[in-house]
Amino acid sequence: MLHIFDPNTRTDRDLGTPPPALTGNTVSLSIDGHAIDVPEGTSVLRAAALAGIQIPKLCASDNLDAFGSCRLCAVEIEGRRGMPASCTTPVAEGMNVHTQTDRVAKLRRNVMELYISDHPLDCLTCPANGDCELQDMAGAVGLREVRYGYEGENHLVAEKDTSNPYFTFDASKCIVCSRCVRACEEVQGTFALTIDGRGFDSKVSAGQNDDFMDSECVSCGACVQACPTATLMENSVIDQGQPEHSVVTTCAYCGVGCSFKAEMKGNEVIRMVPFKDGHANHGHSCVKGRFAFGYATHPDRLTKPMIRDSIDDAWQEVSWDEAMQFAADRIKAIQAKYGRDSVGGITSSRCTNEEAYLVQKLVRTAFGNNNTDTCARVCHSPTGYGLKQTLGESAGTQTFDSVMQSDVIVVIGANPTDAHPVFASQLRRRLRQGAKLIVADPRHIDLMTTPHGGEALHLPLRPGTNVALINALAHVVVSEGLEDRLFIAERCDPAEYAAWNAFIREERHSPEATESITGVPAESVRAAARLYGSARNGAIYYGLGVTEHSQGSTMVMGIANLALATGNIGREGVGVNPLRGQNNVQGSCDMGSFPHELPGYQHVAQDGPRKAFEDAWGVTIDNEPGLRIPNMFDAAIDGSFRGLYVQGEDIAQSDPNTQHVEKALSSLECLIVQDLFLNETAKYAHVLLPGSSFLEKDGTFTNAERRINRVRKVMPPLAGKEDWQITQDLANALGYAMHYDHPEQIMAEIASLTPSFRGVTYQKLDELGSIQWPCNDAYPNGMPIMHEQDFPIGKGRFVVTDYVATTERANRKFPLLLTTGRILSQYNVGAQTRRTSNQSWHDQDWLELHPHDAEERGINEGDWVGLTSRAGDTVLQAKISIRMQPGVVYTTFHHPVSGANVITTDNSDWATNCPEYKVTAVQCEKVAQPSAWQERHRAQHKKQWGLLKTPEPTEPVVK
Amino acid sequence: MSPQIDTLVKMINQIADNAPRQETPEATAEAVVSHLKKFWAKPMKQEMREYVKAGGVGLNEVAAEAALRL
């Protein structure tokens, strides 16, 4: 690939060894006559790189600790004997280093000669040709002959391991530099790889001589990236050759928001390589972002706008103009007949900020109401509510890097190794450094078994009892005097604190009193509270296991109470950190997607902000909230809500109580779906607008740290339009004029109307790489850690959090509690990952149940199990597992045919209507055939794909 | 009354049960009212007003009080 090397501008070059822990001291030395000052502890290799001097190296990389095995980076140092490896030699004051002498040149040639004597000389046909460090180093040291010959004992016939669908392990090309092994340990933290054997027999081995696929390998790609040769190589590069240009952009999977270099050949992505200067991921990735991008060019992609009169008709391909006119006419006719409030829109947490902004703007202008909502409704709406009430801002308080300063890490209702893998790797690194881990989760999560991470304190609570647990933790903190009185006195509202203190001290909140509710031994709760309460820095990370409950909002406030009471807010290493599910959940919330808020969380009833929007948009905005998604469904069934515009969300699969959702969607007179695929929702649509993938558009995503990252277009949209253009065209067809030429102009409008975004521009994003909002005159470069001095509401507010049991309870008919979650290889409804080789890891959802529950019901591993709740029933295959406690069963929801949400009920969070996905009372029994819903689903799937007239419909996995 | 009213009754009762407890039921009802004003759409509030006037069957004490004050 074309590399233009400029040490002053390239931010992702390899400096050989990691930066040292800063002591504040600098050391002066001379390298090849160049004087340079570097921080104490820097390696000679790194110091040289910083001075613009490249020392040959093979086993060194600045994301791995120095290893000193290849001996290629040997240098001469005046006054020292021999030729030390520069990677393992720290700088010293006054040192004189010579990187190029006859002696080291000879040594390096000898080293290379030995390497090459056991290396296939097939450079011209090798997939690494053009991107091989071994080849580069052979050139750099001037290797001209191999005196040993090639006939001796060698590894050239070693077999390839092609078990992983995304990369190949070709052991014949391995130089045993251990970079892959160290990357697996230090970067990813999985420890799946090792060097097996000794001396000449040494070889890289996955697991205990397993195939990569059968080992603990999680296919994060860190080893492939670390490999200096063709030993570990992406299959896409093997097939297609080296990419020729690259563009830095942001991953569209989870809320970590990793930066990637999309490495391209023309308009085709050859590989996605994690960007070293990515501020959220620092050059790491997971199996989804790194490899699972093939969905973007999958043949299932919709490429033509389509319309139909009824959902039983065949789809008719039309021009964009016709589709827009058809949609606009229908919406206008509905509004004329049923009133202005009879239609609404849903913004996507997968689309960009600019696109979410535009959809809510369309709803508030062209539709003329506040009936806008977003898929964040069903995941983190309680976070928005709860943190706003207590801390004054609807967002997490930290950077991801902050975890490296944490001493005690509490993870509640989150499964980072599966759902936020790149952050989990950082978390694990901190655990290996000695931080303590407390996990509150009904299941045993993989984070608890972090290699070399110490023992985790597990609080295995019963689903639905979060608030009782958090109150018990706070009770111990307060009753044992572990609170931070100074912080409370200085930073918190005294009257509210006094009321909360009196409340939380009540004996009914003690661990002993709540043990019968939560099922967690009182001693464990006390131990956890003492650990967190007395930590120098205690940080709380939480996920949907907190929010997706009938008391989701209460629990978020309970977490904030606990952090405030212990003074764990407002500096590095602490904080309240929601782990956001989708790439742009934070952003879609920020962008005014909720029916009660304009962008920047400005309530529609606030006259000042509303007037600013009214003036800018030239319309009158309703000063009362509109309908939330579940309210829209109810109103649809009622008949008062008739038209819906859905941008990139599959509500028919992802929302609870599927049969209720299907009934609502069937009641609509106009459903406009804008998506990449014919998803479950699109099967009920009248207008299909083919959307664009993240590779096909410009914009920004905002990750769980409030970090605004640029999304850059690397290929033209398959269907001709970026999503913001589609929304703009629809607005124009509806008679509301929008004329943006580029998302940059949309961001300028957002910045002009949203105080927390006031200083955000594309230019600044390009300059800084990313910005954590708020970004305004006071914080021109953004704010990494929030609430350092004060809260946006002045004082922190304690809120009384009574535990109220959910109405969804186990009883004789439904004795088990079902809870749901994600798995590493699949993403949410699976629309993207199911269309990639990630299927190799998880091609169906399983019902996990405890051996005790299985035995009582005569269920064996692999049996088909009928799962019944008050809402519906489905059939899944059983996996016997002791991850759950008896009485709790678990499944993922990545495959539509599993019907996980046929089971979930329409219970929801009291404050935000976020569905109670995490608690459903169920019964299960062994069965022989799919459920009635699954039979209907299969028939409907076949029929709707037939109506699309695509040649090869992808059959759902029904077994 | 529309079939939606059952959901609205469930919602308001749940809000009444969960809204941070105040010193008097009236104060809690007032907190419920402010929640409804902040988050409920116009037709939902209207329907609740009519429902409570018509007897408000199934509303718990705080919810009924809140609905009357809405």
**AA identity, residue A933:** W
A-to-B residue pairs, Cβ atoms closer than 8 angstroms: 68
Select from A100, A116, A131 the last residue of a domain.
Answer: A100
Chain B residues touching A624 at Cβ < 8 A: 41-42, 45
**Bridge partners of A160?**
A170
Q: Which amino acid, residue B50? A: E
Contact residues, chain A to chain B, C-beta under 8 Å? 341, 370-371, 550-551, 553-554, 557, 595-596, 603, 605, 622, 624-628, 630-631, 634-635, 637-640, 799-802, 804, 906, 910-913
Q: Tens digit of pLDDT for each residue in A442-500?
A: 999 999 999 888 899 999 999 999 999 999 999 999 999 999 999 999 999 999 999 99
* CA A334/CA A681 separation, integer angstroms: 20
| A240-254 as b/e: b if 16+ CB within 10 A | eeebeebebbbbbbb
Please judge whether B39 and A626 are an interchain contact, meaning their C-beta atoms are less than 8 angstroms apart.
Answer: no
CATH number at residue A543: 3.40.228.10
Using the beta-carbon criterion (under 8 Å), do A341 and B42 form an inter-chain contact? Answer: yes
Distance from CA of B1 to the nearest CA of A (A): 10
How close is the nearest chain A Cα to the Cα of B47, in Å?
12
Interface of B with A in 39-68 (CB under 8 A): 39-45
CA distances from A335 to A626, A643, A735 (A): 15, 9, 14
**Contact A635/B40, CB-based, under 8 Å?**
no
| Residue A121 counted as domain residue | no
Whether residue A404 is found in the same domain as residue A546: yes
pLDDT tens profile A722-768: 999 999 999 999 999 999 999 999 999 999 999 999 999 999 999 99
Domain termination residue (choose one: A100, A134, A156): A100
Both tokens of B62, joined, read 């705080």
The DSSP code sequence of A342-384 is: GEEEEE-SSS-HHHHHHHHHHIIIII-S--EEEGGGGTTHHHH
Structural domain contains residue A124: no
A530 and A460 belong to one structural domain: yes
Instruction: Write the burial class of residue A603 (CB in 10 Å: 0-12 exposed, 13-18 middle, 19+ buried).
Output: middle
Question: Which residue does chain B place closest to A389, by CA atoms?
Answer: B20
Q: Is residue A106 part of a domain?
A: no
Identify the segments of chain A with pLDDT beneath 70. 1-11, 949-959
The C-alpha atoms of residue A838 and residue A823 are separated, in whole angstroms, by 11
A583 and A547 in contact (C-beta within 8 Å)?
no
Of A627, A638, A800, the CB nearest to B3: A638
- The two tokens of residue A587 are 């952003």
- Structure-token match 């009833």, residue found: A605
**Same-domain status, A315 and A393:** no
Question: What does the pLDDT read at residue A502?
Answer: 96
A675 DSSP β-pair partners: A690
**Alpha-carbon gap, residue A837 to A238, rounded angstroms:** 16
Residues A549, A518 share a domain: yes
Residue A360 lies in a domain: yes
Most A CBs within 10 Å, among B42, B49, B62, to test the A interface: B42
Taking the CA of residue A596 and the nearest CA in chain B, the distance in Å comes to: 6
Count of structural domains, chain A: 5
In a domain, A794, yes or no: no
Residue A159 lies in a domain: yes
The pLDDT assigned to A9 comes to: 47
Q: How far is CA A183 from CA A265, A429, A507, A564, A738, in A?
A: 27, 12, 50, 38, 49
Q: Are A567 and A456 within one domain?
A: yes
**Does residue A319 sit in the same domain as residue A290?**
no
Q: What is the ipTM, given to two decimal places?
A: 0.95
Q: By three-state DSSP, how is residue B30 classified? A: helix
Q: Are residues A227 and A345 in the same domain?
A: no
User: At how many degrees (to 10) do helices A494-505 and A466-479 cross?
Assistant: 100
| Smallest Cα distance from B8 to chain A, Å | 9
Residue after which a domain boundary falls, among A739, A772, A805: A772
**Minimal C-alpha gap between B68 and chain A (Å):** 19
Q: Report the chain B residue with the minimal C-alpha distance to residue A798.
A: B20
Sequence-separated (6 or more) residues with CB below 8 Å from residue B16: B28, B29, B32, B60, B61, B62, B63, B66
Joined tokens for residue A118: 């056991």
Contacting residues for A685 by C-beta, under 8 A, at least 6 apart: A311, A671, A672, A673
Looking at the structure of chain B, the number of domains it has is 1
Tell me the backbone φ, ψ of residue A837, rounded to 5 degrees: -75, 0
Task: Supply the CATH number for residue A80's domain.
Answer: 3.10.20.740
DSSP letter at A36?
Answer: E
The reported pLDDT for the residue numbered A10 is 55
Distance in Å, alpha carbon of B6 to nearest chain A alpha carbon: 10
Task: Please check whether residues A821 and A676 belong to one and the same domain.
Answer: no
Distances (CA, A) of A314 to A174, A304, A648: 55, 14, 22
Residues in contact with A734: Cβ distance below 8 Å, sequence separation at least 6, in sequence order:
A328, A331, A332, A362, A366, A367
Structural domain boundaries enclosing B16: 4-69
Considering the domain boundaries, does residue A19 fall inside one? no
User: How crowded is residue A876: how many other Cβ atoms within 10 Å of its Cβ?
Assistant: 30
Distance, in Å, from the CA atom of A288 to the CA atom of A836, rounded to the nearest integer, reads 9
Give the 3-state secondary structure of residue A436.
Answer: strand
Contact B20 A801 (CB under 8 A): yes
Residue of B10, B11, B37, B39 to mutate for A, most A C-beta atoms under 10 A:
B39
* Same domain as A428, residue A364: no
Judgement on whether residues A164 and A254 belong to the same structural domain of the protein: yes
pTM for the whole structure: 0.94
Same domain membership, residue A570 and residue A433: yes
Q: Does some domain include residue A21?
A: no
Are residues A414 and A495 both part of a single domain?
A: yes
CA nearest A471: which of A918, A801, A804? A801
Whose CA is closest to A860, among A847, A879, A887? Answer: A879
* Domain of residue A280, CATH code: 3.30.70.20
Nearest CA in chain A to B20: A800
Which residue among A554, A640, A913 places its CB closest to the CB of B43?
Answer: A640
Tokens 């629809």 sit at which residue? Answer: A730
CB A700 within 8 A of CB A765: yes
Find the domain containing A239 and state its range.
143-297
